[in-house]
Structures are given as structure tokens and as C-alpha cells.
Amino acid sequence: MSQLTYLKAINRTLAEVMRADPRVFVLGEDVREGGPFGATQGLAEAFGEERVRDTPISEGTICGIAIGAAQAGLRPIVEIMFIDFITLALDQLVNQAAKAHYMSGGQLRVPLVLRTQGGAGQRAAAQHSQSFEAWLTHVPGLKVVMPSSASDAAGLLQSAVADPNPVVYVENKALYFQREEVPDAVAPIPLGRAAIRRPGRDVTIVATSRLVAEALAAAEQLAGEGIEVEVIDPRSLVPFDLEAVASSVARTHRLVVAHEAVGQGGFGAEIVAQVQAAAFDELDAPIERVTAPFTPIPFSPPLEDAYLPGKDQLVAAAWATLGYQIGG
């Protein structure tokens, strides 16, 4: 076991997959220098500049090159510095990468990984702090993962690189420098398999990315008040482990869904829809959602702190489900 940050776990895993498979290469803006946060630090020195390719500042071009390389038999790992900039790559990602296998009758594969990061709380303002994962989950042909811990970052990245389909791997910048114990050899984590982070019997909280730690903090507080919260981390949004969530709801009969993105059109709404269809008779209260407010992300530190959903909202949402009485 080693003490690693979330960021270092990604860096170490990138080196491991490149060492294991010569078809894997990295491309993006400033990746030879490590990228904006250092995720690709040292890879150019270890593997050469042919396999760690700096690109012009053109996200559409970067993604297009990666798609062509993937169809030619390579396994590119694209870095888009901030998920806010994925807007510039969506034509290639959505109209080409996601469709190629289907439109070619199965003759083409696009085994690429697009790494990007989102999330607020770092005083990066409204154009560098957004959470756009719901956009990507709406596109057939794309897989979307959101690791919440260093160990999961390593395991999910291995599976994403091995997958024959395009995978969008969404990191959270607020998690980058958090340390935890990580095994020296992390096993791949299958895409589409949720993790129960804490068992409980009274309320289920399904939380993604940074909100997983907030949900665990809320569960700890509620435990002191006699409430046992089960915390589930989906880890993968597409494919989504509905069975794990529905099974939990069958035990607790109450559900809170939490993510950092705004509520309107967020992936939490999809979780709510799927759960009520699969486990409606198990629910004893309306499903609660904890999300960011429907507003651009403030630059002002006090306003940004107020904007971010966290433990307090999760505690309130759990109590709201517990306080609901049918016919009352």
C-alpha cells in the first residue's frame, strides 16, 4: 500500500497502461509538461515524445486526430484541460466517435479515452468550473465514468483504456490532492459496477464524484442522531448500475440523489426516473435531489462556497425523506 493523491494515482496508472501496451499514447495541450495539474508529468521522459504528443489549442482537432488513430488500431488517451472546453470537441466526440461502430455495421471501433476534469470550489469562475457529465450520458455510444477516490481513479482508468468503445473519464479538480491508501497493484474496476461506500438501513444516498465524501460525512453526522444511511457511489454513469441502487432502495425505502452539477437536466434526474420505474413500490417517500442551483458558478469565494452542494444539504434531504408521511 502507498499513500497517493488522486492525481498521482492517475499519473501512475497512465504510466502502467503505456508500459503494458505500446498502442497507448497520450495527446493534448501541454501534456509533455504535465498538463494543467500534472496528470501527465514525467510521461514524455519515460516513453518519448512520439507517445506523449503536445497539440495545438484546438479541442476539435485533438479529438479528431484521436478518433482517426483509434480507428487505425491505436489506443489514444486525450486530455481536455477543463470539461468546459469539451464544447469545442463535441462534434467529433458525439457525431463521429460515438457513432462509428453503429454506422459501420460493427466494422469500426473507436477505443479512445477522453480524460477531462470539472467541478467548482477552486475559484476558477464560471468558464472553468462546470459539470457537464449529463450532456455526455445523453449520447448513445459513449461511456461515462466519474471516479471519486484515488483507488477508483486507477481501477476505472485501466478499464476505460481496455474498453473497445469511447469512454469519457471525468475527474474532479477538488479531489486531485486528497491522499489515501492505494494498493501497489490496483485491479481494474468493471465499468457499470457501483460501490456501497457505507451500509445502512434507513436512507440510501446515491452520490457522484466529490459528493461521495460529502455523503459519507452526512452519514456520519446522521449516525449520531440514530439514522443509518447507505451511501452508494455509481462510479460509472454509462453503464449505470441500476440493480445496486434498486436493491438498496428495497432495504431502506428512501432515496436521496446528489451531484455537483445543476439540478435541471442533471444526471440525478435520470437516476430518479430509473429508480421509480424499477422500485416504485419500495419507496415510502418522494426521492430527494441535492444539486447545485441553476445559476452560473460565482467567482466570489463566499458566493462559490454558498453555491456548492455538500453535507448540510444532504443531511436536510435525508431528514425530508424520513419526515414524509403518506397521507399526512
Catalytic positions, please?
59, 128
Within 10 angstroms of residue 326's Cβ, the number of other Cβ atoms is 6
Cα 192-198-203 angle, rounded to 5 deg: 95
Q: For residues 145 and 156, what is the distance between their CA atoms, to the nearest angstrom?
A: 8
Cα within 13 Å of Cα(46), Cβ side: 18
Grid-cell match 462546470, residue found? 130
Q: For residues 318 and 200, what is the distance between their CA atoms, to the nearest angstrom?
A: 12
Q: For residues 162 and 165, what is the distance between their CA atoms, to the nearest angstrom?
A: 9
Burial of 222 (0-12, 13-18, 19+ CB in 10 A): buried
Q: Which of 122, 125, 85 is nearest to 297 (CA)?
A: 125
Which cell goes with 203?
436512507
Which cell goes with 145?
465514468
Grid-cell match 455495421, residue found? 105
